[in-house]
Chain A
């Protein structure tokens, strides 16, 4: 009897928590299939896919999708290469300054984008690097590096250096040792930073708002921001279903990435991470 009461209390708490955490997301998922969504959560009477067609036909969404994939992929490749190289070197570096260097890198990570966005805007304006993917990608890369170097360096730390030393004595070059011997062993770590950098570039929304005005260069976060702002007004005119569908495309790649990464999160390997 006491067990039954306890179980009921537990499921009551479950339901309260579930309602709080699921309602906003469920509203988004349901609105997408509605011809005219309202702020009220409701199951569409006649589910439709018209909103998906609309955002691609009327709102130029394929451009934003392509741009987002482009910027995120290039950032991912650049970050993964540079961070692996630096993380490996730091890991094998034998110096009393090593810890100081690692901690100063980590300190940079505590500076949020909101503290650097205005200086970045001002600098990029002076350098004529606004409305330019090169500027955006380099800023993204530099912003990602501190945390990801720290993560990958810890992965390299777990790999014994005996193997590489053998290769080294055989006359292998530094880069060849890294890419043909160490990287294959460190694959899980490299995969983690690749996925994290893609995720960060994909969802970053402040700098893209500040640095990109040009219609052709808009990425999904930029277009979504525009949609939230311009399709507002009174609740009746608000095209919730269109904005929701854009939001869904913004969210789905992150959900896929999360499903891939889930085991790393659960394992607790991300401790101290993901501050932003």
Chain B
């Protein structure tokens, strides 16, 4: 033990060790110091880099490899020995006439609709709430705490609470819509059938709008006060100020916020998984759960990985297009 410790010791302080050597060459010492200095930031980054490689990048490369393999339960014990499938998995999952492909396409459209609705409304609620709480008034601090609570709860706990509220017999939603307000003539099923899509959207909004609120609130603090004072002297009312000063100033915040919300919502696994389990009802069958089912329930990892890779490519393309588009527009307006 002691021996190995001693052996490990030199690399950490190698520069100092050699510097103290019998006849130090001034030039080499300088060079060593330079390397030490130049290498220091890399040394600081090393742990972060290694961990990201281990957990994100290497598995992702393996994931891409697996998508070209015929990896089923049969080969899982010896997964490197699974036969290559070429583009077989990809052919299967993009063939919209086949069962697997058409199910994936349906799932993709469901995810897009879910993402657009959930991101749009989360963004809207968060922005409106942040702008309305920009001025000081009584109870503002309490409101902020209330608004942030949904974001603070663990996701699975929130989804479980909502699942209870959406129950057919004993849930709050049916009690409210049917018995109290009388909007629906009969209680509805929320966790199966078409309503399950809306249940998913509502939960996602409830969970994410506080994050939009938080970001816009932070963005509002960066707007100089003089802008408002100057415009007030010029006779601008509060609605005009919101339209002409607040909204344009928030553009940079909105650019990042919408992107982050998009990626979170599109990739969201926890909400549908806790709400529906491993197999979601068809109207709410979003891609993440769809892939989970293909991989861990049907034990076809090659297919599941091919789907994941396609999903990642889609996300990369959308992100690149979005950043290009919004940056250009920002450039034009500046």
A binds B: no
